[in-house]
Amino acid sequence: MANHFPSGSSETFLASVSSATVPAPLRLEGQPTLAPVRLEERISALDTVRGFALLGILVMNITDFGLPQSADWNPAVAGGTTGWNLFTWAVIEVLADGKMRAIFSLAFGASVLLLVERLSRKGAGVDAADIHYRRMLWLLLFGMIHAYLIWFGDILFPYALMGLLLFPLRKLSPRALVITAGIMMIVMTGDNVRYYFHQKNEQREYAQIVADERAGKTLSADQQDTKKDWEDTLKDFNPSADDLQKEKDAHRGSYLQLLAFRSKQVFRMHSRPIYLPIPWFDFLAMMLFGMAFLKPGVLTAARSVRFYVLMALLSFAVGLPAHAWLVWWFWKQHFSIESSNLVGIAYEIGRITAFGYIAVLLLVIKLNFWSSATARLAAVGRMAFSNYILTSVICTILFDGFKLFGKLQRYQLYGVVLLVWAVNLVVSPIWLRHFRFGPLEWLWRSLTYWKKQSFRIRDQVAA
């Protein structure tokens, strides 16, 4: 396992960083030779954090793979709200919802900073920006392919978009980065408050509109818009039996049927304006936290044991009660749409739990506990891009290819999670004994360089 402390630079989330450069024939004499990060340059602590996040994010995504989309935020729609299903939903909401995506995003931001700093130390100059933006644009394309052809819940597309904004922010101090990210979280919380009162008013207006219709009154254009907006909101939150059946039929039908159904879902998400606080701030804020945590050595296990203990305790003390209340209130209100809007106010506070997970993981690394387990997580993190897509392929084959979509209860879905975890944890270390990168990491590098990269370890050693 590589050194847990910085010995140079690491690579960006979803893969070992691919560093592009000007093709060799065009490089002027005296220019630095820019190449992909070497194994000895990696920070295995960050690889481990990335691997943990990759496995953890499936804990949340599995419901989108195996159940109707609305079950993701409304357990009453599918998956059950009693017994083991209720228990599973509550535990996952408190311990995982929003936290794993936060760690994913945080690792991405940290790794972008590492890439640019490593290139700058090598004298890359303007080429550092060229490499960064080329990598993000390729990632954008990968995200579109993944979203439309494999799974609608892709995260690569929004990561690439937010990654385009990171380069000019890299020189901010840790304090400025934390303040900026904190403001974004406050804005998102404020937007949740605004949305709660907006929907409360809309619901009241809808009731009056329905009464007017029954009385034979002609609706104004504004009333018709309000009626449609509220009915669309209800449809998303609590779809009808017919809508649920259409979704199930699409997943259990032919690939072309599913492709048509998925395209509508993806286009709806990808067409959201980027300047809206949600969902884009969700990713960008955590990426900025990642850059802020990297600069003083937090993410490299370089801080003291006391620091990580306090970081964990404070994060859990703030985050866990917030999401525990969220779950309790939603259940107490029988999963009503009104209560779902209210609990969103505590969502961003609850995500602070992610910092606690990172602190515990880095503490384990620093104290050299369970080194065999952290080594496997680091291998998963080094191949995170390939493992991410592999996870989607496995789940799509199981739920769509074998027609299991909508047939498993919520708690049963986590048997599939354990299966995918086992594949990631077993295959990744074996693969990396023979190859420098995961297969998609290699493709990403080759495209960024526009030059085929050496793949096998023995070929690199020979070179």
Q: What is the pLDDT of residue 7?
A: 35
For residue 336, pLDDT over 80 is answered with yes
Q: Which residue has the tokens 């599939």?
A: 416
Per-residue pLDDT tens over the stretch 70-96:
998 899 988 789 999 999 999 999 999
Residue 30 banded pLDDT, cuts 50, 70, 90: very low
pLDDT in tens, 193-236: 888 898 889 999 999 999 999 999 998 999 999 999 999 998 88
Query: Which residue type, as a one-letter code, is found at position 316?
Result: F
The residue behind tokens 């990808």 is 270
* % pLDDT > 70, the chain: 89
CB count, 10 Å around CB of 55?
Answer: 21
Q: Which of 87-96, 313-322, 347-356, 448-457 has the lowest mean pLDDT?
A: 448-457
Q: How far apart are CA 122 and CA 188, in angstroms?
A: 38
pLDDT confidence bin for 128, thresholds 50/70/90: confident
User: Do the Cβ atoms of 387 and 52 come closer than 8 Å?
Assistant: no
Decide if pLDDT at 43 tops 80: yes
Mean pLDDT of the chain: 88
Which pLDDT score is estimated for 10?
38
* Confidence band, pLDDT 50/70/90 cuts, at residue 125: confident
Predicted confidence (pLDDT) per residue in 101-122, tens digit = 999 999 999 999 998 888 888 8
Q: Give the range with max mean pLDDT: 331-340, 356-365, 448-457.
A: 356-365
- What is the mean predicted confidence (pLDDT) over 16-28? 35
Q: Check residues 7 and 206 and name the one with the higher pLDDT.
A: 206
- Say if residue 402's pLDDT is above 80: yes
Residue 44's contacts (CB-CB under 8 Å, 6 or more residues apart) are: 1, 2, 3, 4, 365, 374, 375, 378
The tens digit of pLDDT for each residue in 236-272 reads 898 999 999 999 999 999 999 999 999 999 998 888 8
Query: Does residue 359 carry a pLDDT above 60?
Result: yes
pLDDT band at 4 (very low <50, low <70, confident <90, very high): very low
pLDDT at 277: 61
Residue 26 clears pLDDT 60, i.e. is over it = no
pLDDT on residue 126: 83
pLDDT reported for residue 106: 97
Strand partners, 435: 456
Model confidence, pTM: 0.88
Q: Say how far apart CA 397 and CA 296 lie, in whole Å.
A: 43
Buried b (16+ CB within 10 A) or exposed e, 60-73: bbbbbbbbbbbbbb
Residues 6+ positions from 430 with CB-CB distance below 8 Å = none
Query: What pLDDT, on a 0 to 100 scale, did the predictor assign at position 14?
Result: 36
Confidence tier at 124 by pLDDT (50, 70, 90)? confident
